[in-house]
Amino acid sequence: MNMSVPVATTSQQSDQPLILLSKSNPVFCCYLFWSSLLIIKMLLMSLLTARQRIKTKTFANPEDLRMGRTPEVRFNDANVERMRRAHRNDLENVLPFLLMSLAYVASNPHPLTAKMLIRIGASARLLHTIVYACIPLPQPTRALSFFITFGIVIFEAFYVLICAIKYI
Amino acid sequence: MNMSVPVATTSQQSDQPLILLSKSNPVFCCYLFWSSLLIIKMLLMSLLTARQRIKTKTFANPEDLRMGRTPEVRFNDANVERMRRAHRNDLENVLPFLLMSLAYVASNPHPLTAKMLIRIGASARLLHTIVYACIPLPQPTRALSFFITFGIVIFEAFYVLICAIKYI
Amino acid sequence: MNMSVPVATTSQQSDQPLILLSKSNPVFCCYLFWSSLLIIKMLLMSLLTARQRIKTKTFANPEDLRMGRTPEVRFNDANVERMRRAHRNDLENVLPFLLMSLAYVASNPHPLTAKMLIRIGASARLLHTIVYACIPLPQPTRALSFFITFGIVIFEAFYVLICAIKYI
């Protein structure tokens, strides 16, 4: 009669590794929250670039000229290029951060450590965008915010490497 | 004797959240299908760029010159640059769409809504490539196909943000 | 009394698809290992670019000039641009490889095939970086290493497409 309880418990325990990439894992929920925030931020970069393009009438495609009532395509506007560099920096760092953190969460790290790393890494990228694309601040503000996330991704990568080394 | 049935059912129900990122979830299968299609499309951009490079003899690396029998490296060919912009636009939008949709599927959305968003978002990106890189059409065709996927990613991001807000 | 054993086994079998994206799946562990390695490699590209920027005093942002004690921003240095092209090539190929392989692992492929594809695809990208950014070798070394990973991603994509075709 009371067999169902221990059976369920055993099943629950043997399934523990399964729930890492699911809503029942608070670390994964934390990852979901911050990755959504970073992706919204990345998409907003497109709008910021478009705003600079319209403001400085710098269009790269002939079919866009009519929108800005400009006579010809133009490149190398300093403001547009700054946005594009900031956006590219996001591609180079935010996407690896998101993929690496997902692999890290799947490697069953210590929950508190993992949540702190995700929060700090994502916040540093938000700061990076502000000091790169919105209010250009003197260095080393940008370098610092860059290397915080950089260091966190490297740490996560080595953690996962060591966890999975025997499956090389 | 008939205890095994209710036990199995209970186990099935308590495991429900687990199956979101698995082949047993039709929404995830739909995501798998469309993400594969988008990734094939993204990779084909490399081949389209290479074709333009060979056609216009625009090689960026000294070691590639022998292949095209050209005397020197060349940049800024209009056709090559259009392909590169289209490809970069994919990096900026398709990769966030794939990552965001994965997080969205993991957040247990309404199945029909989720499947429609994935289908429309992916189809709009296929259209975007056609009107940007293959047959340049007058605006706002490209802008419209861009903003359909853009809007879907923003919607998915806010859905996940609200789902996971207490794990901030 | 001995009912718990068959119940557990049944539950285990019906849950089989769940464990694909978890540490209990050796193919996923293999994916974790190689994706971490590729992400470390991608991040190192940033440092290699920074080293070239400092060596050739080519800074793109006014606020970086003080660090290099240079009078003005400079673009189009050949060494910096080579690094940036290698880095961009990574964005265009490594990130799709990582996302596609994740979808492929979730599609329950043959374990041995999947592990070999992940190992060969990731190793080819490591080789690609060496012959592009470190020791520029004559073609077709770079083209070969490029097309190995390219072909693997296309294969994985078609495998997943066929698996998930009815969820279109």
Cis status of the peptide bond prior to C71, with omega within 30 of 0: no
Question: What is the ipTM metric for this complex?
Answer: 0.82
Confidence of residue B140 (pLDDT cuts 50, 70, 90): confident
Does A79 score more than 50 pLDDT?
A: yes
Q: Chains meeting B at 3+ CB pairs closer than 8 A?
A: A, C
CA dihedral of C64, C69, C72, C78, whole degrees rounded to 10 = -80
Verify whether the Cβ–Cβ distance B136 to A45 is below 8 Å.
no
Confidence of residue C64 (pLDDT cuts 50, 70, 90): confident
Q: Which of C11, C21, C45 comes nearest A106 by C-beta?
A: C21
Angle at B150 between CA C35 and CA A45, to 5 degrees: 75
Model confidence at A70, in pLDDT bands (50, 70, 90)?
Answer: confident
User: pTM value?
Assistant: 0.85
CA C15 to CA B40: how far, in whole Å?
Answer: 31
pLDDT tens digits, residue range A2-41? 443 333 333 344 444 446 887 888 899 999 999 999 999 9
Render A77-95 in DSSP notation, one character per residue.
-HHHHHHHHHHHHHHHHHH
Predicted pLDDT at B68: 64
pLDDT tens, B36-52? 999 999 999 888 888 88
pLDDT tens for each residue of C9-29: 333 444 444 468 878 888 999
Q: What pLDDT shows up at residue C68?
A: 64
Q: Per-residue b/e over B112-136, b at no fewer than 16 CB within 10 Å?
A: eebbebbeebbbbbebbbbbbbeeb
Spell out the domains of chain C, with CATH numbers in brackets: 26-166 (1.20.120.550)
Residue with tokens 């879907």: B152
Touching chains, C (3+ CB pairs < 8 A): A, B
| Chain A with chain B: Cβ pairs closer than 8 A | 115
Tell me if residue C69 falls in helix, strand or coil. coil
Higher per-residue confidence, A131 vs C72: A131
**Chain B closest-CA separation from residue C144 CA (Å):** 13
